[in-house]
Amino acid sequence: MPRPNDTHSMVVGYILWIFGFTGSHRFFYGKPITGTIWLFTFGLLGIGWLVDLFLIPRMDREAGFSYEAGPMDYNIAWILLTFLGVFGVHRFYLGKVLTGVVYFFTGGLIGIGIIYDFWTLNEQVDEINLNAISEGM
């Protein structure tokens, strides 16, 4: 049986769970559909948010199977997006300077770009890591 990569920190998952009524921990673990549902229903009126307290270890394992570890750290990217996304700091971290500047001056394109990044950040980091691995070979 393949071993999971240690791509997502469970500690970061639980920190984001504190803001779980926004779905941030679900986005972090690569579950954008349920993250969006949590966002618009306040964590399924708090019930889903409480249940997730016990589901985070499973979501952490699943993320380890879904995403590739590499030079770009998922945890740093997610912390930057969650807390400084409106300023585009996560985009600068990913090496996307032009869109980082755009986010900085437009408030993350007035929030729409941030929602896009919540849906796709894991894939963006995964792509950078896979490219780094293939270039190293």
pLDDT in tens, 52-97: 999 999 999 999 999 999 999 999 999 999 999 999 999 999 999 9
pTM for this predicted structure: 0.91
Is residue 5 helix, strand or coil?
Answer: coil
CA distance 7 to 64: 6
| Per-residue model confidence as pLDDT tens digits over 28-40 | 999 999 999 999 9
The pLDDT of residue 135 is: 87
Query: What is the length of the chain?
Result: 137
